[in-house]
Structure 1
């Protein structure tokens, strides 16, 4: 196959609209697939295999379009085509397979298996694997900011594979396409803010570790978990607060007066499924189950899934409940 004749490069609005259309159709396909699977297997099964359903719908959508060498619905909408910048040809089968798998498979593997990997004695492997999604997110934002300035490679995978979009629509010399540089500036400011927060979060921990070795009674800062830049250890109630089960450590933030409730009724309705005692510092997971704060945090550190329904559990998404 000979090289393609000279074609104008796709403009930023064309590329953005194409990706937005693909995202819409992919979301629609996933939503319909979830409705069918939910009616067959139930909500609990769907919650357990939600990552696989998301991966399947992406592979199905782009497998029927990109992998076959056809335009996706978004590309067809704005009349653009991807080409390889190395030889100015349409992508071959290997490159199309890479365009399909690179944006989908690594993110799925990381999200599904990162929390189930065995820990080494110092926890370095676990910390590294859990830092990969944040690192990829930062790289994606850097690439997007670069796209807003340069107008090339909207996705990180297309930049890695050196695949650009060309337009079949002739360019009007009298029309100047809009610029998205202002969005690039805003995104750059956000990236600088994230960098500042990371330095502000980890620099004190590193300086403390270099100054003195941690004792058994102090939390290990190298393995500390943070929620909104606050360490988990500072949010967990102290043993003195938990000594009296009739006192809720967050009692000053609730209108519930535990002393006025019959003890048998109170314990029966406020029992934690992990410690089998009355809940203290009640907290709720994304799936709607309530536990003691210390119980669910300890459980999530060992196994990142709800102990009742086995849905994935994220420490940053556990919420306090003040009035129950």
Structure 2
């Protein structure tokens, strides 16, 4: 049986097939959860339930040493970096964790950190759809984080909020950049497979001309990279405009506060003058009455 490196269309079709099947599993989980627990519980625990089904899917296939439905659909198999043997159990476990568990944890913890920072900065508790009911029960780690945040100054908290936002945007930018590199000349469609060094071999050669297909995907990668750079430029401009708007808003608030203080001072002077005038009139009347 001839084996060769899987091409980019096969990797994309395999991933799309897996996502399609996982979407079907999530839809069935949605129906079952709504039927037994109601829509409110589903909304509270939606991400956790979807994570459970994703982990179950990859544990029953990749972790157990079998092909996923997408891999079977396009006849590709996983191999390690040597491309001579299948990935070890540790590599497969690391792949599943990096592909499913790590993105969930990063997103959840960043949302909670932003939530804590906004509470400390604004003094109000913000509601967020990504926060489940259990997130309000603080663990010992988050109690410690809360104490650390409370000890920061207002400027440090605002700087940390901006840093968290930049990190989240950087992660999204990294994913887009990785996808553009894959389109141009890459063997890893997912970041998790690049980190774990897991490649793919195809069992049989496809009917199309690989050279023409590779040129098409190289062009697609160049377009994706240009779009990514354009998006980065727009994001930087938007960030700069927000900073300028915040500075203008602070200046307007300061000027408004000064105007209110000036008006209040003027009113106090007018009241004082009126009280003096009234007192003088009353004194004159009193003197006339005596005379």
Q: TM-score range by the shorter chain?
A: 0.5 to 0.7
Unaligned 5+ residue runs, structure 1? 219-324
Per-residue deviation, residues 95-115 of structure 1 (Å, max 9, x unmatched): 001110102122212332323
Cα RMSD for the two superposed structures: 2.8
Give the superposition deviation at 1:173: 9.6
Of 182, 186, 197, the match for 2:219:
182
Of 236, 249, 256, the match for 1:199:
236
Contact kept, 8 Å, 1:51 with 1:112, in 2: the verdict is no
Contact kept, 8 Å, 2:22 with 2:54, in 1: the verdict is yes
Contact kept, 8 Å, 2:81 with 2:197, in 1: the verdict is yes
Report 1:45-56 matches (<5 A): 45-56=41-52
Contact kept, 8 Å, 2:193 with 2:199, in 1: the verdict is yes
SS in 2 for 1:202: helix
The alpha-carbon distance between structure 1 residues 194 and 67, as it changes in their structure 2 partners (threshold 3 A), is same
Report 1:10-159 matches (<5 A): 10-86=6-82, 88-117=84-113, 118-119=116-117, 120=149, 121=152, 122-123=156-157, 124-159=159-194
User: Counterparts of 2:70 and 2:191 in 1: how far apart (Å)?
Assistant: 18
Partner of 2:199: 164
Unaligned 5+ residue runs, structure 2? 118-148, 255-291
SS in 2 for 1:71: coil
Contact kept, 8 Å, 1:7 with 1:167, in 2: the verdict is yes
SS in 2 for 1:64: helix
Per-residue deviation, residues 160-191 of structure 1 (Å, max 9, x unmatched): 22211111114679764523123212211211
Question: Normalising to structure 1: TM-score of the pair?
Answer: 0.59
User: Counterparts of 2:161 and 2:76 in 1: how far apart (Å)?
Assistant: 42
User: Counterparts of 2:208 and 2:242 in 1: how far apart (Å)?
Assistant: 57
SS in 1 for 2:164: helix
Report 1 or 2 for greater relative contact order, CA contacts < 8 Å, sequence distance ≥ 6.
2
The alpha-carbon distance between structure 1 residues 126 and 166, as it changes in their structure 2 partners (threshold 3 A), is same
Of 5, 8, 13, the match for 1:9:
5
SS in 1 for 2:99: coil
Report 1:213-252 matches (<5 A): 217=253
Contact kept, 8 Å, 1:81 with 1:167, in 2: the verdict is yes
Contact kept, 8 Å, 2:78 with 2:199, in 1: the verdict is yes
The alpha-carbon distance between structure 1 residues 194 and 176, as it changes in their structure 2 partners (threshold 3 A), is closer
SS in 2 for 1:81: strand
User: Counterparts of 1:174 and 1:191 in 2: how far apart (Å)?
Assistant: 29
User: Counterparts of 1:148 and 1:81 in 2: how far apart (Å)?
Assistant: 20
The alpha-carbon distance between structure 1 residues 156 and 175, as it changes in their structure 2 partners (threshold 3 A), is closer
Contact kept, 8 Å, 1:115 with 1:130, in 2: the verdict is no
Contact kept, 8 Å, 2:63 with 2:92, in 1: the verdict is yes
Give the superposition deviation at 1:196: 0.8
User: Counterparts of 2:110 and 2:70 in 1: how far apart (Å)?
Assistant: 32
